[in-house]
Amino acid sequence: MRSTWRDGDRVREVELTPLAEGRYRVAVDGAEFELSAEPLGEGRFRLTRDGVATLVEVGAAGERRFVRLGALDFVLARERAGSGRSRDGAAGGGLEAPMPGVVTRVMVAPGDAVVKGQPLLAIEAMKMEHVIRAPWPGRVKAVLTKPGEMVNGGVPLVELEAGAASPA
Amino acid sequence: MRIAATLREMGIAPVAVYSEADREALHVLGVPEALPIGPADPRSSYLDADAIIAAARRAGAEAIHPGYGFLAENAAFAAAVEAAGLTFIGPSPEQVRALGDKRAARALAVKAGVPVVPGAEGKDAAALIKAAKTMGFPVMVKAALGGGGKGMRVVSAAEGLAEAIESAARLAGSAFGDPSVYLEKRLERARHVEVQVLGDGQGAAIHLFERECSLQRRHQKVIEESPAPGLSEALRERLTFAAVAIAAVARYRGAGTVEFLLGPDGAFYFLEMNTRLQVEHPVTELTTGLDLVRLQLEVAATGRLPLAQDQVTHAGHAIEARLYAEDAARGFLPQAGTITRARWPRRPFVRVDAGVESGSGVPVHYDPILAKIVAHGADRAEALGRLTAALDDTVLQGVVSNLPFLRALARSREVAQGRYDTEWIEREFLGGFAALAQAPAPELALAAAALAEMAPGAPAADAEAGAAVQPSAFQTVGRWRLPGLG
């Protein structure tokens, strides 16, 4: 099974091939290793790699996966084909809510030309206002929210087409 | 819950109050009797004095404990409780009002002979700017009625001052109902040390030693401990003496906290006095063996101090970490959602005061504190070792928290050595932490996530359901800031 994950700013690929008796061949971004996995229920596994056993605990919240590895925690997000949520911003051009909150202001409309760094909209959460700015110059293709709307983290808010200048 | 725990030990029946959104909250399910006081919006429930007093009457209660938040430092609420013939567990309404005005509080400290941070008050911006030039930069602009670090601005040169005063005044006006601001000289590399006091309301007061709360981000505390590391016995005596003097001059009633800034040269200055139980009170409870809620109730009931200064002793060291729903690696952005899994440390010498459990919603609109994890040891190293292990044991999934940040802090060399000041985290620690947090996840973590997708009934299948049960932020009110009798 292949799956794609967002890990902070990176996109990572995992391929899992079942062998026999709880053993798997794993490729992470092309690096291969073998692993045996003992399921312990409720998202818990004992993973053994090169003779070293580690207890892991995986919990899901939407597309996010909370992975506890020993006493370390990681948050990964499942990327699905065609979800339009590619982190490779220029491709989808979607700007997402960085946190759950209430949209307080929308400063642009579809068709507007924007410069890099221009405020697009503001979200308030826990009495803090967070302004979302254009990461590159371009044109607003769509505004997917309105003031007063409650949004979850990761939800696309604005679609921004790259303008003359390169989005890089 | 914290307060109800003590009431039940004392044979007093607690009655909690709750908003519509908190019907299933821990503080409501944990007590035999709880009364609804209104809808989720706190203005019509937890901030509605009439609704709370009416609930107290319905329950036949004799007293109201205001908790830590919402109305805990609200003079009008304290006055309304007393006018209703009920006992307010805390200082008198006049004391709440006087100490809530930072300028009046500074005047009180001066009267008690305690140094205050050099500063300036004035009606108009021009006078403040002139005073700042005399005093020297950098200065801090603070709201007269502010607190908890809200609305504070640091200004490093004369150019930005007029604008900072105007913006702080506007914020103070909307947040605290009074646009008055004042200036304080900014002390470089200062530590935040506070003293727990208890007064009888007639001019007698004692102290329960100090707490060190210098580990802060955005002027808000993350790790607190008692005693303060590196404090000489002589300095401890002078600090506690000053705190008691302020409480005595104020004729303070009940439990309060006198906050000081401690310069690298050992000079200290009065900062402000908090007229309620503090979030960090457990470190004092663990080192003195005294239940602060019980002391509050005893003072309220008898008007006398339940013990003399020489009966207060301290043993060992206690250290507390505040678990917040915030992303420390990305500017401490607050997080919300549903906690899918919470497991608290179970080990000797560790206390956990938690406001959430598996399945709890974390709301958008309030201080996102989830739990306090507190460890006690014979000395600082033992306490810190126990805290570190307890943080490692803690499991919290479903909402991003500052748990990795707390673990890294607890392991840092400066924290181990007790060498930090109130700006150390942002100045020296945060950059390295953020870099570490943004490093790629290990291959094993990715393998585990992928493996869980394949398991029967695993996250892939549950993902939709998980999204569906996530409550609207508007329907969930914080469980932490317990008002009323909870």
Q: Read off φ and ψ for residue B358, nearest 5 degrees.
A: -55, 130
Say yes or no: ipTM exceeds 0.90: no
Cβ pair A61:B397 closer than 8 A: yes
Give me the domain span that covers residue B223. Answer: 191-432
Between CA A56 and CA B51 the distance in angstroms is 48
Tell whether B181 and B251 lie within a shared domain.
Answer: no
Q: Is B450 a member of any domain?
A: no
- Which chain A residues in 9-68 lie under 8 Å from chain B, judged by CB atoms? 9-10, 12, 14, 16, 24, 26, 28, 31, 33, 35, 37, 39, 43, 45, 47, 49, 54, 56-63, 65-68
Q: What are the C-alpha distances in Å from A100 to residues A151, B179, B431, B452, B479?
A: 6, 31, 25, 26, 18
Chain B residues touching A73 at Cβ < 8 A: 403-404
Tell whether B151 and B202 lie within a shared domain.
Answer: no
Chain A residues touching B441 at Cβ < 8 A: 7-8, 12, 67, 74, 76
Cβ pair A152:B337 closer than 8 A: yes
Residue B192 pLDDT: 96
Q: Give me the mean pLDDT over the A152-159 stretch.
A: 81
Taking 70 as the pLDDT cut, the residues of chain B under it are: 147-151, 364-366, 456-486
Chain A residues touching B450 at Cβ < 8 A: 1, 3, 5, 14, 16, 26
Q: What are the C-alpha distances in Å from A92 to residues A35, A134, A154, B106, B429?
A: 35, 14, 14, 56, 35
Residue B41 pLDDT: 77
Between CA A59 and CA A41 the distance in angstroms is 11
Residue A59 pLDDT: 95
Between CA B129 and CA B120 the distance in angstroms is 9
Tell whether B144 and B31 lie within a shared domain.
Answer: no
CATH number of the domain that B62 lies in? 3.40.50.20
Q: Is B110 a member of any domain?
A: no
Residue B235 pLDDT: 96
Chain A residues touching B347 at Cβ < 8 A: none
Q: Is B461 a member of any domain?
A: no
Q: Which one of B326, B339, B397 would you mutate to disrupt binding with A, by most A Cβ within 10 Å of its Cβ?
A: B397
Q: Is B327 a member of any domain?
A: yes
What is the average pLDDT value for chain B, to the nearest integer? 88
Q: State which amino acid sits at residue B361.
A: G
Tell whether B242 and B373 lie within a shared domain.
Answer: yes
Chain B residue with minimum CA distance to A52? B444
Residue that terminates a domain, selected from B185, B207, B239: B185
Q: Give me the mean pLDDT over the A61-74 stretch.
A: 93
Tell whether B356 and B420 lie within a shared domain.
Answer: yes
Chain B residue with minimum CA distance to A11? B440
CATH number of the domain that B315 lies in? 3.30.470.20
Q: Is B443 a member of any domain?
A: no
Q: Which of A110-114, A162-166, B8-12, B29-33 has the lowest mean pLDDT?
A: A162-166
Residue percentage of chain A with pLDDT more than 70: 85
Binned at pLDDT 50, 70 and 90, residue A95 comes out as: confident
Going by C-alpha positions, the residue among B174, B184, B166 that lies closest to residue B105 is: B184
Given A59, A76, A100, which is nearest B364 (Cβ)?
A: A100
Active site members of B: 276
Q: Which one of A29, A74, A103, A130 would you mutate to disrupt binding with B, by most B Cβ within 10 Å of its Cβ?
A: A74
Tell whether B275 and B318 lie within a shared domain.
Answer: yes
Residue A29 pLDDT: 94
Distance from CA of B366 to the nearest CA of A (A): 5
Interface contact A3, partner B, CB < 8 A: yes
Tell whether B233 and B361 lie within a shared domain.
Answer: yes
Residue B56 pLDDT: 93
Given B365, B442, B449, which is nearest A58 (Cβ)?
A: B449
Tell whether B299 and B399 lie within a shared domain.
Answer: yes
Between CA B430 and CA B450 the distance in angstroms is 31
Cβ pair A69:B448 closer than 8 A: yes
Cβ pair B447:A35 closer than 8 A: yes
Residue that terminates a domain, selected from B397, B417, B432: B432
Cβ pair A126:B368 closer than 8 A: yes
* Overall domain count for chain B: 3
Tell whether B333 and B425 lie within a shared domain.
Answer: yes
Distance from CA of B447 to the nearest CA of A (A): 7
Q: Which one of A55, A75, A76, A78 would you mutate to disrupt binding with B, by most B Cβ within 10 Å of its Cβ?
A: A75
Tell whether B75 and B196 lie within a shared domain.
Answer: no
Task: Report the 10 Å Cβ neighbour count for B442.
Answer: 16
Tell whether B181 and B195 lie within a shared domain.
Answer: no
Cβ pair A47:B447 closer than 8 A: yes
Between CA A66 and CA B261 the distance in angstroms is 39
Tell whether B354 and B406 lie within a shared domain.
Answer: yes
**Structure-model confidence comparison of residues B485 and A153, the more confident one:** A153
- Model's pTM, two decimal places? 0.82
Given B367, B442, B451, which is nearest A16 (Cβ)?
A: B451
CATH number of the domain that B180 lies in? 3.30.1490.20
**Structure-model confidence comparison of residues A87 and A68, the more confident one:** A68
Between CA A141 and CA A148 the distance in angstroms is 21
Q: Which of A97-111, A127-141, B224-238, B413-427 has the lowest mean pLDDT?
A: A127-141
Residue B342 pLDDT: 96
Residue that terminates a domain, selected from B63, B97, B131: B97
Given B337, B442, B454, which is nearest A100 (Cβ)?
A: B337
Q: What are the C-alpha distances in Å from B15 to residues A108, B25, B37, B116?
A: 50, 14, 12, 41
Residue A124 pLDDT: 76
Interface contact A87, partner B, CB < 8 A: no
Residue B481 pLDDT: 33
The full 3-state SS of B8-66, as one line of letters, equals: HHCCCCCEEEEEHHHCCCHHHHCCCEEEEEECCCHHHCCCCHHHHHHHHHHHCCCEECC
Residue B151 pLDDT: 67
Strand stretches in B248-382, DSSP E: 253-262, 268-274, 317-324, 326-327, 333-334, 337-338, 341-343, 350-354, 361-362, 369-377
